[in-house]
Copies of this chain bind each other. A is one copy, B any other.
């Protein structure tokens, strides 16, 4: 098989280096590919498990976020996933009908449907996240704490939305 790596690195890159501390184009392009390959492999194992249930990646995302944020509303889930209500509804409806998620009305606002995993929902979440947790934990262990910190910093910088970045801030002080 031809060696795909065999090419000019940094070929005519930085012909006009920008004023403000240019980041090497090759380094940036490798970043793009690292994200692609990591995400591809990161989702491959859960995808195989989902198949057994007749579910897809969308179900995984719903189960993940509901698991992490019990009592979240449908609207919050829509904000996070950035999909339409109709798209979510098919997936969420299946999970509810098959007993992985329960909905109940909000106490203050009775229009809201608060979402929560059932026991089998938690089992499913655990099975799905297991390979991902293992993969990340192994990589974290191998790379070491400073690298993990850099990983987090760079990914946070890539995330566009302030609201979403805030999810990863240390817990606010006065929040017993």
Contact = CB atoms under 8 A, between A and B. Distances in A.
A156 B21 CA distance: 25
Query: Could you say how many copies of this chain the assembly holds?
Result: 2
Contact of A142 (B29, B157, B160): B157
Contact of A168 (B30, B68, B153, B157): B30
Nearest to A81: B40
B155 A151 contact: yes
Contacts of A5: 166-167, 169, 171
Contact of A140 (B2, B28, B132): B28
Interface of A: 1-2, 4-7, 9, 20-23, 25, 27-42, 44, 61, 64, 68-70, 72-73, 75-76, 82, 129, 132-133, 135-144, 146-161, 164, 166-169, 171, 175
Given A28-B136, A30-B152, A136-B158, 18 more contacts: A1-B76, A2-B76, A4-B72, A5-B167, A6-B175, A9-B171, A22-B137, A29-B133, A32-B133, A33-B68, A34-B151, A34-B156, A37-B159, A41-B158, A44-B82, A140-B157, A142-B157, A150-B151
18 contacts: A1-B76, A4-B167, A5-B166, A5-B169, A27-B148, A29-B68, A30-B152, A31-B148, A32-B136, A33-B168, A35-B38, A35-B155, A37-B155, A41-B160, A41-B161, A41-B164, A142-B153, A143-B154
